[in-house]
Structure 1
């Protein structure tokens, strides 16, 4: 029974967090929303898949410009994970710049129109992804294994940060946020942390002597982004929502990638 539920939760997480065709049944969704640890758990597979453009560029017999790899990385990421989370970035960006109280900001979150704040937020995230992809391509030119590990670490860290918000946050209204937060609590943080442990241990093993610093850099970035997102959402929106989860996922990935590359360069 426990194994069946765990498998269902993983399928639900893959169906929710990516466009991987695993099926999206009601049972999978229910198991997923009650298991926040499934988010970082599927980050391993998603991260490995997202790293394919970097690996392909490193393995082809011609030199591919890092910026080209960065563009391919960002485009491939959107194909693999969809644009649902980017929509969260846009909505949170619009809500962040609007004048008014929490009710007004929540109204902006629900508005499908794209404003200046959302446009700027999207541009920064996409530009950050392209730059991160180019930086990881430079890493791959010296060590493909290190580059892939960096991408996987950032993906697991981003998913763990999002899952942590699910565990500790409360939704200000009915919707995706409440569906996730109502089924979990702070006790679920232990499972989220446990799901990220293999990434930390594996990263240190593959990356060698500088692995501890890289792992610390990526995961610290994810923790900081998650903490800032939680604090902002609680003070400005009255709680976390589906848009906040999506924005946290995207921002934690971008910041984690850059932090990991910087730590790798310094190691």
Structure 2
């Protein structure tokens, strides 16, 4: 059941050719923990460029990372961020804001949201590319798992604004199911404490804040909020992780990270 749910999650959260069946979809929407479990797969793939840290220039690694994010995950989540950006700058009630999100026209709010998050992610990737390879990979992986944990958090604590993806994932779930989602993130959170731990925890913290904002401005959570949470968390979590490593590091060092990971 869990493996089927993870396949369904990968079918929705990535461009990998798996999980495109009704059975996988049904298992996915009923299993919030499938979000962060899929994050391990996606994170492992997009972290590959950082294995070349120290061999290639940091801008090359950062560009390869951004390209891999697009290749592996597509633009579905970025579209949610763009729609939320347009809604954020609209003056009106929740129904009017949701109407703007359904409009195919790209407004200044969307451009600003996408541009800011993309720039933030690029700068974080540049900073990560200056770290030891195993540390950089651990931080990128934890940021991706944290991004997916933000979506699992919305599924467990959010209130749907209308029928759609949001309601399909939220209905039937509750805050108690968030415990399983948190539990499956422990392996990556423990790789390079505190850096990877704070990167993972960025997910639920940002999701709770986004859920409160969406309740006030949009009348609840929709599919676009899930996509926006993923994109926002990835960028913020990578910055937080790099900052935590720079400030605190770990007494184990780079080889210690490898030993801890393999133990």
- TM-score in same-fold range (> 0.5): yes
Cα deviation for residue 59 of structure 1 reads 6.7
Q: 1:133 aligns with which of 108, 125, 130?
A: 125
Cα distance in 2 for partners of 1:28, 1:224 equals 28
Q: 2:238 aligns with which of 251, 257, 263?
A: 257
In structure 2, the residue matched to 1:76 is 68
Contact 2:156 2:174 in 1 (8 A): yes
More displaced stretch, 182-191 vs 92-101 = 182-191
Contact 1:41 1:156 in 2 (8 A): yes
Deviations 1:19-46 (A, max 9, x none): 1111400000000000010000111111
Deviations 1:129-164 (A, max 9, x none): 21111111111xxx2111111011111111111101
Structure number with the higher helix fraction is 1
Say if 2:155 is the partner of 1:166.
yes
Q: CA RMSD in A?
A: 1.3
How many positions carry a matched residue from both structures?
Answer: 248
Cα deviation for residue 52 of structure 1 reads 1.3
Structure 2: gaps spanning 5 or more residues: 249-263
Q: TM-score, normalised by structure 1?
A: 0.89
In structure 1, the residue matched to 2:110 is 118
Structure 1: gaps spanning 5 or more residues: none
Cα distance in 1 for partners of 2:155, 2:140 equals 23
In structure 1, the residue matched to 2:178 is 189
Contact 2:7 2:18 in 1 (8 A): yes
Match of 1:174, SS? coil
Cα distance in 2 for partners of 1:96, 1:30 equals 32
In structure 2, the residue matched to 1:58 is 53
In structure 2, the residue matched to 1:157 is 146
What pairs with 1:196-235 in structure 2 (closer than 5 Å)?
196-201=185-190, 203=191, 207=192, 211=193, 213-235=194-216
Cα distance in 2 for partners of 1:9, 1:254 equals 26
Match of 1:152, SS? helix
Which ranges of 4 or more aligned residues in structure 1 deviate by more than 4 Å?
A: none
Cα distance in 2 for partners of 1:59, 1:50 equals 18
